Chain A
Amino acid sequence: MGNSAIIIAKNLSVGYSSGRSSKIVFSNAKFSINRGEFVGVLGPNGAGKTTLIKLLLGLIKPLRGEINIFNECPKCGNSKIGYVPQHHSFDSELMIEAVEIVRLGLSGHKLGFSWPKNSRAERAEALDVLNIVGAGELAHRPLSTLSGGELQRIFLAQALIGKPDILLLDEPLASLDMRREREFVKLIKDTAVAHNITVFLIAHNVNPLLSVLSRVIYVANGRVAVGDPGDVLNSESLTKLYSSPVEVLHDSHGRIVVVGAEEGAHHEAHHKEYE
């Protein structure tokens, strides 16, 4: 597995500008991500985690500083990036089968339509990817009949079918119970290792990710802390980040609870783990 840096950010400030005013989401971020790393993007609601994803997708530009992906500025429609957003907008009664949704990840961005011969080849390829993510038996099930966990596998397959080098997942664990969280995280990790994919995964609760993370990007209070999980997820580091007392507690199983000034955001992690 190669370990050269594929994403490099220097003095990165990100936000939204309208006219003369601009709202900074976070500033002076500096990090370098190597190929094959599994990066957890953590932080409270509204801190800028999804903004970071949009930046990597080329949907927004930095206000200051720079970020490069494979030595280029992020651009829209980068075929090396696979993306699983937090929300999906399809009708709850949609009868279209899963394999058709996965297929869109391969050719949905191209003009025109697929000829029948190409359609058959695309469906076959979609079925292969569904089997890789353990969802082969769901291929011909309508989307409206699938559970939250099953849907996440379908959307993961849709992101993987384009053979990406980088996989961006925005809160993929949000609708899953604890058992499904662990299964899905293991699936992402195994797939990433097998295909040498760099993963950026946004999550509210870091605990399902503890066994797979190689790096953490923690966004809070307009700042970004980047490093190994142990270097970032400790009381001293988060207190500095939040500019107010924050305590990181570990239970007997090594699970983490963060309590402090942003207590509302982390109560979810706390209650989820101990219910």
Chain B
Amino acid sequence: MLHAFQAGTIVAIIAGLVGYFIVLRRSSFAAHALAHVGFTGAAGAVLVGVSPILGLLSFTMGGGFLIGILGRKAQSRDVQIGTVLAFMLGLGVLFISLYAGYATEAYSILFGDILGISSRDVLITLVAGLVVLIALTAIYRPLLFSSLDEDVAEGKGLPVFRIGILFMLLVAVATSIAVQVVGVLLIFALMVTPAAIAERLAVRPAQGLAISVLVALLATWIGLFISFYLPYPVSFFITAIVFLVYIAVRLKPFYPKKALS
């Protein structure tokens, strides 16, 4: 349980930070697709006898690079991305079927298995988390500027295309470590929903980042705590908590509607 809290804390912080920019850039579906691509990588890795986290990381980074090259306009093209991710998921199902006795590993990758995390995995998560944190800190202002207003940012001389590629690589790493907690299918719960909640509440980007991290952290900690007493998956509790907070925030209007003039 200690390892679960350690890894869960690191993942929640990184997912909250990266997720805020995913929502600002309206790339949530692209980020969701990366998790599915990662599943295929993990399934393929086990098939060839390699650590699934390596397969996850290499496929998400490859996918992230390709999505980054497409540019932001293409990242919101749901049909194209959905078609590719459906194929990738199908490929992952094929890999599973080729390897007997794979059900437990597949379940962990699809739905998360934070309670089964080892100290080695915590160390890998910490290193990956630090890499993402340092990179985000370094490019924070240019990333924010290009996320909020790409044309003006480009006019100011920012390399918005390269920033986009770098950001998708960071999403790939964050996705890979988040899969351990909530799995591929529920990645939205940590990577997008807390950030979506923050976007509705925060009037300043720094506030938004803080709220996104706080929601992800609380959901993870409370989810882990409840699972200690109830025999149900941690990922369910995490997704349920963020969902309830999201509904509550959406129901309450925080500002008047747009002016007509």
Contacts and interface: CB of A to CB of B under 8 A. Distances in A.
A149 interface: yes
A168 B156 CA distance: 12
Contacts of B256: 145
A83 B155 contact: yes
B259 A89 contact: no
A105 B144 CA distance: 12
Interface residues of A, number: 49
Contacts of B139: 111
Interface in A41-90: 57-59, 75-78, 81, 83-90
Contacts of B62: none
A87 B151 contact: yes
Contacts of B154: 59
Contacts of A230: none
Given A95-B255, A104-B144, A112-B137, A147 B261 contact: yes
Interface string B170-213: 00000000000000000000000000000111111110100000
Contacts of A23: none
Contact of A112 (B141, B156, B200, B204): B141
Contacts of B158: 77, 108-109
Nearest to A89: B150
B157 A109 contact: yes
Interface string B245-261: 00000000011111111
Contacts of B128: none
A146 B141 contact: no
B261 A111 contact: no
A90 B142 CA distance: 15
B149 A113 contact: no
Interface centre among A83, A88, A89 (most CB of B within 10 A): A89
Name the 7 nearest CB pairs between A and B, nearest first: A77-B157, A108-B145, A76-B157, A83-B155, A85-B151, A97-B203, A147-B259
26 contacts: A59-B154, A78-B157, A83-B156, A84-B152, A85-B149, A89-B72, A91-B23, A91-B24, A93-B200, A95-B255, A100-B203, A104-B141, A104-B145, A104-B148, A105-B156, A107-B141, A110-B141, A111-B139, A112-B137, A113-B137, A113-B141, A144-B258, A145-B256, A147-B260, A147-B261, A168-B155
Interface of B: 23-24, 26, 72, 137-142, 144-145, 148-158, 199-206, 208, 254-261
